[in-house]
Amino acid sequence: MVIFSFYGGVFATLPAYLADIFGTKFVGAIHGRVLTAWSLAGVLGPKILTSLREQSVYQAISDLASKIDSDKFQQAFGADKSALDSLVEAKTVTIIRLMDICPPGTIDPTPFLYDSTVYAYAGMLSVALVSNALIRPVSSKFHLPK
């Protein structure tokens, strides 16, 4: 929540920051590009992270299904393991339902579903941090005269 609260402050100070870094001459155009990139990231970022989580769920389901006896799977879901993709798509096979028929001692993968998503998010934030650290002020000739 603290991070989300920064967005108002960023919107308020972004034009001044851009003017300090890139000069006042083209700050309007640069600000427009920053806002366009920000909105693009606001749309694509969650889509990418959601896709990573869905892949984690599917991988966890596949791993659990491989540990289950074929006969038990057939009895529980009325289909062979070869129909796993369609059963997952129809939401017939879920992690919870698989855990009910898994061998004793099987670890529930639910707490680890967001691992790859969080690592990807941390990676994207690291790239943003390094990119921002590499920004250097431009020559004073790009600033409007006072």
CB count in 10 Å sphere of residue 77: 19
pLDDT digits (tens, 9 = 90+) for 55-83: 999 999 999 999 999 999 999 999 999 99
Q: How much is the pTM?
A: 0.70
pLDDT at 116 over 80: yes
Distance between CA atoms of residues 26 and 66, nearest Å: 59
Residues 63 and 124 sit within 8 Å (Cβ to Cβ): no
Domain boundaries, given as residue ranges, for the chain: 2-138
3-class DSSP state of 68: coil
Residues 64 and 106 sit within 8 Å (Cβ to Cβ): yes
